[in-house]
Chains A and B, each alone.
Chain A
Amino acid sequence: MNRTRRRKALSGLVVFLCGAAVVLALVPLFFVFGYVIQRGFSSLNWNFFTKMPKPVGETGGGMANAMLGTVYLILVAGAFAIPVGVIAGVYLSEYGKKSFGSLVRFTADVLNGVPSIVIGIFAYGLAVLPVKHFSALAGGLALGFMMIPIITRTTEELLNLVPGTLREGALALGATRARAAFSVMVPAALPGIMTGVLVALARIAGETAPLLFTAFNNRFMTTSLLQPISSLPVQIYTYAVSPYEDWHRQAWAGALVLVGFVFTFSVLARVVTRRLERMHRT
């Protein structure tokens, strides 16, 4: 009897510890969310979404240019990073079983771990220094470089999960290796690849460091690839370190919008995955 009681007590203790760890893990998340919502919500109004920043000293105005700028930068980054990442992932999964593949895989993992500020410096050297001009293109490049390894590795891992019998089925019908990969394997892994892409987008949407000296900032609305462009993270940073009370308020509102952005991507990732999976499996 004594042993049974001891065993039960021990089990209870372990369950309690597990629960406590979960609570500890979630507490910061709730605090961050709670604080951002509390501080940001009161400053959030229609003007914030539609108006441009006011000159220094004037109160009011909004971050319309920064929000549009973030969307724009994500589009620029995605436009080259998604195809490059997916195709590289296909390469690794289909052909990269030898030493060169391992090298590429290792490089991608290293790139994934490189601090974002370093990526920013690289993009600065690549696209800003030669033309002596900050630009949306440079910012998009920096963000894209961060996306590529994430997309490559997710694509590869998800393709590896697709049964090889599908590839054989396509080859047996006279498909070439590449044809089999793109017409059968990639569609089969598409739900997962989409998730990987959206996760990568969510990851870069909030990046500040790589944009500081690539896209820089812009007080005006622009859609030119070759002009500096504003973005939410950089705008938040600029406002947060300023001495003006009104800008601090706006920085909180911007933070809330940014969190909303990332949250939307994450939810979208789940929804898209579910949808596509249901379409495929039944």
Chain B
Amino acid sequence: MTETVVSEMETRAGSPLPQGEPASVPATAPAIPSMAGRRIRMESTRLNFHYGPKQALWDISLQIPEKTVTAFIGPSGCGKSTFLRCLNRMNDIIPDTRVEGDVLLDGNDVYGPGTDIVDLRRRVGMVFQKSNPFPKSIFENVAYGLKINGLAPRGEMPERVEKALRRAALWDEVKDRLDTSAMGLSGGQQQRLCIARAVAVEPEVLLMDEPCSALDPIATGKVEELIHELKRDFTIVIVTHNMQQAARVSEFTAFFMLGRLVEHDRTEKLFTNPGQKITEDYITGRFG
């Protein structure tokens, strides 16, 4: 798996690197040169977020191009998970929270009055930090989203479940025990099951909130490999504490600090030639 990543990094490194101006804290989404030509799937403009009296995000403007992996990095409590959860309005269930600014999905305001939150979450799927399979069978776990959204007739269900499990590279490990409880799977398998469950409903965007933080290196490797496969079909946003992981899996990286977006650029640019001193300090491990 590492080989695939490395070779891809080399190919990209071989192409001429775009030399943009060093980004300052942007007010509107900055144009990152290599985004040109790619469709922007999601976009936030001047997004502010408050937990009660405490403001957690300041003026986040960011574009997420389709069929790429965008990584959010930054020290704990910097707001990257909060921002991620704004993208599918997962913060709505937390009482006393407030959002200002826009989040657009395909140009439509996610927080607008016309948005059906159920439909939004179907289109913007999510994988959580701690794997959270339902205490049901493996089959039922994957079928859940299809069932509640009425996306597949009963007869097609086995086919759709198999497809999702194959996409999550889990099929061969579980095909003989689809009817057993998902709680019996290992941690890594559980997380891939959650990924299968999320991709089964064919979302456009897949949000991953530190999906590997509870996994061992081998399971982490499998999930990263999976992310590589999935970005052909989905737009992926991943929050990670692991900078090597961000470097391995993503095309674009956004660095958050104290609730602000400090820098957003192509991953290899951000890691090799960051525009901000503070980014450099963080990625070289001088703090955080």
Interface string of B167-185 (1 = CB under 8 A from A): 0000000000000010110
Q: Is the CB of B121 within 8 A of A173?
A: yes
Number of interface residues of A (CB under 8 A): 24
Neighbouring B residues of A167 by C-beta, 8 Å: 93
Residues of A within 8 A of B212 (CB): none
Query: Please, could you name 20 A-B residue pairs with CB atoms under 8 Å apart, sorted by A?
Result: A97-B95, A165-B128, A166-B135, A168-B90, A168-B126, A168-B128, A168-B132, A170-B148, A171-B90, A171-B121, A172-B90, A173-B125, A173-B198, A174-B148, A174-B149, A176-B118, A177-B93, A188-B135, A279-B181, A282-B183
Query: What 6 A-B pairs are tightest by C-beta distance, nearest first?
Result: A174-B122, A173-B145, A172-B126, A165-B132, A169-B132, A280-B135
Q: Is A187 interfacial (CB 8 A cutoff)?
A: yes
Q: Majority SS of interface residues in chain A?
A: helix
* Nearest-CB residue, chain B, relative to A282: B184
Chain A residues whose C-beta falls within 8 Å of the C-beta of B130 in the assembled complex: 165
Complex alpha-carbon distance, A280 and B141, angstroms: 13
Q: Given contacts A173-B122, A174-B201, is CB(A280)–CB(B183) below 8 Å?
A: yes
Q: Is there an interface contact between B194 and A169, defined as CB atoms closer than 8 Å?
A: yes
When chains A and B are docked, how far (Å) is the Cα of A173 from the Cα of B206?
Answer: 11
Cα distance, A184 to B140, chains bound together (Å): 11
Which B89-142 residues sit within 8 Å CB-CB of chain A? 90, 93, 95, 118-119, 121-122, 125-126, 128, 130, 132-136
Contacts A174-B201, A183-B144 given; does A169 touch B134 at CB 8 Å: yes
* Known contacts A97-B95, A174-B121, A280-B181: A163-B132 contact under CB 8 Å: yes
Residues of B in contact (CB 8 Å), total 28
Query: Does A175 reach chain B (CB closer than 8 Å)?
Result: yes
B contacts, CB < 8 Å to A = 88, 90, 93, 95, 118-119, 121-122, 125-126, 128, 130, 132-136, 144-145, 148-149, 181, 183-184, 194, 197-198, 201
Point out the residues of chain A lying under 8 angstroms from B118, CB to CB.
174-176
Within 8 Å of chain B (Cβ to Cβ): is A281? yes
Q: CB within 8 A of B88: which of A165, A172, A280?
A: A172
CB contacts (< 8 Å) of B197 on chain A: these are: 169, 173
- Residues of B with C-beta under 8 A to A171: 90, 93, 121
Q: How far is the CB of A222 from chain B (nearest CB, A)?
A: 43
Contacts A168-B132, A280-B181 aside, 6 further interface pairs with beta carbons under 8 A come to A97-B95, A165-B132, A169-B128, A169-B194, A173-B148, A279-B181
Is residue A179 contacting chain B, with contact meaning CB distance below 8 A?
A: yes
Chain B contacts for A165, CB-based, 8 A? 128, 130, 132
Cα–Cα, bound, A273→B78 (Å): 43
Chain A residues engaging chain B, CB cutoff 8 angstroms = 97, 163, 165-177, 179, 183-184, 187-188, 279-282
* B-side contacts of A188, CB under 8 Å: 134-135
Complex Cα gap A169–B148 (Å): 13
Residue of B nearest to A175 (CB): B148
Tell me, in angstroms, the Cα distance from A175 to B151 when the chains sit together.
Answer: 13
Query: By the criterion CB–CB under 8 Å, are B134 and A170 in contact?
Result: yes
Give A129 to B128 CA distance when docked, in angstroms: 57
Complex Cα–Cα for A188 and B134 (A): 8
Residue of A nearest to B123 (CB): A174
By a CB distance below 8 angstroms, the chain B residues around A169 are 128, 132-134, 194, 197
Residues of chain B within 8 A (CB-CB) of A166 are: 132, 134-135
Contact of A282 among B149, B181, B198 (CB under 8 A): B181
State the Cβ distance, B5 to closest chain A Cβ, in Å: 27
Known: A163-B132, A169-B128. A174 touches B119 (CB 8 A): yes
> Of all chain B residues, which has the CB nearest A281?
B183
B125 close to A172 (CB less than 8 A) = yes
In the assembled complex, the CB of B164 is this many whole angstroms from the nearest CB of chain A, namely: 12
Query: Are A170 and B144 in touch, CB under 8 angstroms?
Result: yes
Return B265 CB to nearest CB of chain A, in Å. 29
* Assembled-state Cα–Cα distance A167/B93 (Å): 10
Could you tell me if A168 and B93 are in contact, using CB atoms closer than 8 angstroms?
A: yes
Complex interface: chain A residues within 8 A of B126 (CB)? 168, 172
**Chain A residues in 8 Å Cβ range of B125:** 172-173
- A187/B135 contact (C-beta < 8 A), A173-B121, A173-B122, A174-B118 known: yes
